[in-house]
Structure formats: C-alpha cells, structure tokens
Amino acid sequence: MRIARLPLILWWCATLGVAFVAAALATPRPAADAAPASPVTVITIEGAIGPATAEHVRRGLAHAQRDGAQLVVLQMDTPGGLDTSMRRIIRDVLASPVPVASYVGPSGARAASAGTYILYASHIAAMAPGTNLGAATPVAIGGAPEPAQPPARPGRPAQPAASGASEPAPPTGPAPTVSGQKQLSDAVAYIRALAQMRGRNVEWAEKAVREAASLSADEALAQGVIEHVARDLPELLTQLDGRRLEIEGRALTLRTAGAGLVREEPDWRIRLLAVITDPSVALILMMVGIYGLFFEFSNPGALVPGVLGGICLLVGLYALQLLPVNYAGLALIALGLAFMVAEVLMPSFGVLGLGGIVAFVLGAVILIDTEVPGFGIPLGLIAAMAVLSAAVVIGLAGMALRSRRRALVSADATIVGQQARVVSVNADDAWVEVAGERWRVRSPAALQVGQTVQVRGRDGLVLDVLPIDKPQGE
C-alpha cells in the first residue's frame, strides 16, 4: 500500500517544484537591480550672451555627449547678446546628438532678444511662472520697420487695406535704413526657420522680431511657443519623463523622472574669457599695453613695463577681435595715444596732447559697434581714462621741462672753474684730482704736490690749470 502511494507523492513534489520555479521567474526584479537613468546636464546662461557664453555652451554640450547624458537643459536668464555668439550657440544646439531643452528660470527671469532665438532652436522649450520672453528685434536697427503703405496726409482719411480691414496706424519711429531693413529681414527669416523646424508658433516668432513683442509663461504655453511650464527643474524633469523625441533620424524616449542633475560650471579659461571680452576691460588692457611699451622704449632696459605692456596689448587686441568693434573708433584711439606720446617727446605747447585726448574720447565712444546691453563702455570710464592720460602727459612734460632747466652735470661745464689739488709731479707732467678723477695738467708755472690750482680749460685729456696759492716753503 505504501509502495503504491510513492509515485503519487513524487508527482506532487515535481508539480510543486515546477510551480515554485515559474513563480520565481515571473517575479519582477527589484528596483535596485534596474539600470539607473542617464544624468541630465544643466548649463546656466546668465547675463548678456557673448563669446564666453558661446564657448561655455559648446564645452557643456561636448561634455554631455562624452558623459552619456540623456538631456541638456539650458537654464536662461538673459537680456540678449551678440548676434555672432547667439548663432554659434544655435549651431551647436542644432548639431548636438543630445536633445536640448531651454528653460527660462527661475521665476523672475527672462529670455529676451538672443534668448528667444535660442529657445526656438531647442528641442524642448519651457518656462517658469513669472518669466517672459520676446523683444527679439535686432538692437542695431533704429526705429520701427517701414509701413506697408505711406501714412495718410493731414486732413485726409486713411485708405482701407486691400483685404477690407482697417489699416493699422503707421509706426511713429523713423523708418530703418536699407542695411537695417536687410538685417531685420534676415532676423525674421532666421527665427521663422527655427520655428518651422521645431513646430512652434511661426506667426508670433515673426511678431517678436518685427514688433518686439513679449509673452509671459502662461501666454507662451497657450500660443504654442513653449511646451511646458514648470516651477523648477525637478518638476520639469517629471513632466518630460516618457516624452519621445527624434534626434538625427533616431527615436529616443526620455527617462528623466528622478534622474541626477550634473551642473556644467565654467572653468577658469571661460571665466578669464568673460573678463577680458568686457569692452571696458579690453580698452584698459590696450591702454596699459601702449603706455607700457612707451615707457620701455623711453627707458631701455627697464624690462618690466615692456613685458607687461606687450602682454596687455596682445590680450586686449585678442579680446577686441572677438567683439563687434568699429575700426574707425579703434583708429581714433590709436591716433589719440600717438598724439599724447608725441606731446611728451616733442612738446607742442599742448596742441598734440589736447588733440590726442579728443581723439581718444571720440574713439572710445564709438569703439563698440552694438547697442546690446552689457557690451557698452561707460562714459564715466572714458572720462576717467581721458583725465588719467592727460595727467600722465602733463606730468611727463613737466619732468622734461624741469630736466632742461637743470645745470649740466657732464662735459666741460662741470670741470672748468673748479679747484683741484696736485697729487703728483714728474719731470714731464703733473697730475691733479678733480671731481673724484685724476687728470694730467699743464701750467705756465711750476707745480708742487699739495698745491691748489684752478681749472681754466680742457684740451682733450689734458687740463689747463693756474696755481692759486704759492708753493710751500716760499
């Protein structure tokens, strides 16, 4: 009986074993065994966009690709910047294999002018509550664009538009020049192309350029300019989790919920570039360089002014070639400094010095050929540098004048008329000591050692002397 039950017990044991194995295989793995989400790189853009900002973004995108980041977030708070730097950033964003999200934040931030273009170029656009974007009209253009039709004459009603709608009021500002209109048309075409590429509101993009329109975060979301409104970065990453994107012909899905944030900080080279590309700093470096070389040439062998001057001049010129420089202003600055140096070398009773100061001030005022905030040279700095240059010129000229009035300290004027003491008398010649030096002398009377004589003249290396006291013993 027990033997008959043995196969049944074995069958039940095998069945239970299979069930346990199947349950173990069907049980999901713990979350700790799941692969961690790829990090998200955060690049901060604050202040005016310039060469240092463009280099910072380029390096950040390269590091994100190297480190395997799944997303790059450009957190922006900018009033705008240089057109060349903005286009460098946009080219890098469009060529990046890692998707880029532009986030205007934190609350109170803005993405004006160049920031609007960068937001339109990004794969994802987001803003924090209380932020705004827009006002993307090129600042180098003065006034509003030309009206489509000429304004109505006084006392004559405006003609209706062809579509039957009332004609808008003509702009009050001056019409742009031909070059300004070309620049405006180029800016409009550029932002329209970016909007079409990313599927965003094309009409408002053009309006932001032509009319300097701006939008708040909620209005931008309602009009299809951005896709997300988030209070902070963690909330934005939560909203982006699971979103599908197509980058360079390949589809990818973001897994940003709980992903780690890696902030890309500028290194010392980018910080140094940010300092020297400040127009005020570049102008100061150039002036220090020119004055350093001037002092070195005036006093050969000093070395320190020449070394520092050469370094400052090269660094200043390097910074200026990265900025939108008006070369007429640069030429006026160089001419002004040359006049001030010439005033020291060949005094012209202030004519060259005054002309140099005027040329320097005019050149510094028109040096930077842009109205972008943060890239101008303060008038106070220009005035201070002009006063300092004038003080240097006046001081050097005064030193030169005082040196001309001093008595000669070399040649015959320092020897003739002095008294000397005879130190040696031989059969053929006699020697005296005058002004700490030994000279051979000749005299119409016999000389003795210790006798005092007076120098009457010099003939080559021989002094003509005349005794002024009697020889000892007489």
Q: How far apart are CA 233 and CA 124, in angstroms?
A: 13
Res 302: pLDDT: 77
Taking only the tens place, the pLDDT of each residue in 405-453 is: 665 555 556 677 788 888 888 877 888 888 778 888 888 888 888 888 8
Taking only the tens place, the pLDDT of each residue in 214-260 is: 999 999 999 999 999 999 999 999 999 999 998 888 899 999 988 88
Res 165: pLDDT: 35
More confident residue, 147 or 243: 243
Task: Please identify which residue in the block is written with the tokens 């990265």.
Answer: 322
CA angle 352, 358, 363 (to 5 degrees): 120
| Mean pLDDT, residues 163-181 | 50
Task: Please identify which residue in the block is written with the tokens 């890098």.
Answer: 92
DSSP assignment, residue 178?
H
Percent of the chain whose pLDDT exceeds 90: 38
| Mean pLDDT, residues 125-149 | 70
Res 147: pLDDT: 40
Which are the contacts of 291, defined by CB distance < 8 A and separation ≥ 6? 305, 309, 337, 392
| Mean pLDDT, residues 141-160 | 40
Res 272: pLDDT: 92
DSSP assignment of 438-469: EEEEE-SS---TT-EEEEEEEETTEEEEEE-S
Res 9: pLDDT: 58
Three-class DSSP category at 191: helix
Please give the CATH topology (third level) of the domain spanning 412-467.
Answer: OB fold (Dihydrolipoamide Acetyltransferase, E2P) (2.40.50)
Taking only the tens place, the pLDDT of each residue in 6-28 is: 555 555 556 656 555 555 555 44
Cα dihedral sign, 252-253-255-261: positive
Please say if the pLDDT value at position 327 is more than 70.
yes
Q: Using CB atoms within 10 Å of the CB of residue 323, give its burial: 0 to 12 exposed, 13 to 18 middle, 19+ buried.
A: buried
Q: Where are the domains of the chain?
A: 40-145+176-268, 277-405, 412-467
Three-class DSSP category at 310: helix
- Paired strand residues for 451: none
Pairing of strands 452-459, 430-434: unpaired
Buried b vs exposed e over 217-248: b needs ≥16 C-beta within 10 Å? bebbbeeebbbbbbeebeebbebbeebeeeee
Second-level CATH architecture of 40-145+176-268: Alpha-Beta Complex (3.90)
Which are the contacts of 75, defined by CB distance < 8 A and separation ≥ 6? 42, 43, 44, 45, 103, 105, 233
Q: Using CB atoms within 10 Å of the CB of residue 42, give its burial: 0 to 12 exposed, 13 to 18 middle, 19+ buried.
A: buried
Spatial CA neighbour of 361 closest among 344, 346, 379, 339: 379
Number of Cα atoms under 13 Å in the Cβ half of residue 295: 17
Please say if the pLDDT value at position 104 is more than 90.
yes
- The total of other beta-carbon atoms located within 10 Å of residue 87's CB is 16
* Arithmetic mean of pLDDT over the chain: 81
Res 356: pLDDT: 85
Percent of the chain whose pLDDT exceeds 70: 77
More confident residue, 66 or 443: 66
Locate 376 and state its tokens: 């101008």
Please say if the pLDDT value at position 203 is more than 90.
yes
Contact 285, 314 (CB under 8 A): no
Backbone angles phi, psi at 6, to 5 degrees: -60, -45
Res 143: pLDDT: 38
